[in-house]
Structures are given as C-alpha cells and as structure tokens.
Structure 1
Amino acid sequence: MGYMQPGTEGVMERTRHQEPEPEPEYTGPMRGLGDMVHKVLEKTGVAKVVKRAAKGKDCGCAARRKALNKAVPFSKG
C-alpha cells in the first residue's frame, strides 16, 4: 500500500460520510412487476440518476410503476 499524506482521506473515509439513501414509499410485499422494476432500479442506482436528471419535475416513474403493477400483478385473484 502507498503512503497517504497527513490530513487526506482514503476511499473508506469518503464513503463513510455519505448520507443514507431514502426509503421507498411502499415497503410492503411486491404487488406486481412495477414494484420489482422499482426495487431493481433503486438497488442499482438508476432511480437516483433519473431523479437527478428530472431536476424536481415529475419523471412519470410512479405512473409507470402503477401501470405495470396493474398489467402484471403478483397476487392470485
């Protein structure tokens, strides 16, 4: 390992000070395909990039999630 200058931060120090990611609005059981896609996008970080690119405007994610849940539900009934 290389020598670090006094007062500098290593990679571990920078990641330790990051803010925790916010919880998704629905944490119950998955209702359909929309919830699965949402979870995958949250875990991979894509959702964070989309929200940043939307700059506070509605990106339509909630409507697509609802439509996918309705089209491909996971419940029996």
Structure 2
Amino acid sequence: MSTPLPRSVPSSTRLHGVRWQRSSRSTGMNNCVETACPASGPWAGRLAVRDSKNTSGPALLFAPSAWEGFIDALR
C-alpha cells in the first residue's frame, strides 16, 4: 500500500528552501496568496499555497494538475 501524499502542512515554515511568490495582482494590503514549488521532502512536486497575511501559517498542497484545473475554472 502506498503512503498518502500530504495535503497540507500546519506551518509553511516547515517547507524549507522554497521561494514564495506573491500574486502579480497583489495590492499593498497583502490581500492575496503566495505559491511555492517544494523540491524536496514528501511534498516535492506539489504546489504550496499560503495566505500572504499569515506567512508562518498553514499551507495547502496541490498536485499541479489540480491547481491548473482550479485556475482554469476561475477564468
């Protein structure tokens, strides 16, 4: 039986060595999300998403295809 992939981390500070990117549509009020692509650990290959107002808070982890589907649905 395979190990289930993580869907979130309780603190985005656990994602070591990632570079967070803020939305290009972000305002100066931090009302947006930030994304990162972890390269190692059990979350490698996932897209991490966190709230820019709470940078040490939790991060959700998505398969790239799931995130792309979400973005396509918003368009």
TM-score by length of 1: 0.29
Q: Which has the higher contact order (CA 8 A, sep 6+)?
A: 1
TM-score by length of 2: 0.29
Which structure features the higher share of strand residues? 2
Larger Rg: 1
Which structure features the higher share of helix residues? 1
